[in-house]
Amino acid sequence: MLLLASQLATAAEWSGNWENDFDDEKPWVELQAKIPPYPVMEEAIPFFVSASTDNKFFIDPKSISVGADDVVRYTLLVKSAEGALNVSYEGMRCSTGEFKLYAFGHSDKTWSRNRYAKWSPIVYKDLNRQHHMLYDDFFCPGGIIIKDTREAISALKRGINPRAERE
């Protein structure tokens, strides 16, 4: 009888909110992005974005990191058909489908931090869909973050992450 009373008292203390009683998730905290060395174009890995653009897209393999905050960080290089080069240091959150521009590269091989950096949703675009392709085919196949830099580089060199689903 004493055992039953003890169990009833324990049950009465339960809050009745299953999700809160077992929710041990902590709020997400973003790590400070450390700007990498400026990329060397000859070392960058190309990746396909779309046949409807003349731009060429590359990732600097030395800049790729997977942070403890579950952000994949990388340097993106976009070369136009006319030869203009845009360089940006970015982050991608697979869990939320967002990206962030941390810094912009200059022709003198220096960086400027983006003072207005904020997380933006990755949306499908017909023309410039590099973030969508990086998300789906390389860094977040199936919405799941890559495990490390090696997996990212391997996927880029193959042209797709083996875990990515093609429709």
Q: Residue 134 CA to chain centroid, in angstroms?
A: 8
Residue 23: which pLDDT band, with cuts at 50, 70 and 90?
low
Query: Are the beta carbons of 128 and 101 closer than 8 angstroms?
Result: no
pLDDT of residue 2: 47
pTM above 0.75, yes or no: yes
pLDDT band (50, 70, 90) for residue 164: confident
pLDDT digits (tens, 9 = 90+) for 113-125: 999 999 999 988 7
Rounded Cα gap, residues 5 and 11, in angstroms: 10
Question: pLDDT digits over 79-95, tens only?
Answer: 999 999 999 999 999 99
Are 107 and 86 in contact by the 8 Å Cβ rule? The answer is no
Contact 50, 126 (CB under 8 A): yes
Averaged pLDDT score across all residues of the chain: 87
Question: Does the pLDDT value for residue 144 go beyond 90?
Answer: yes
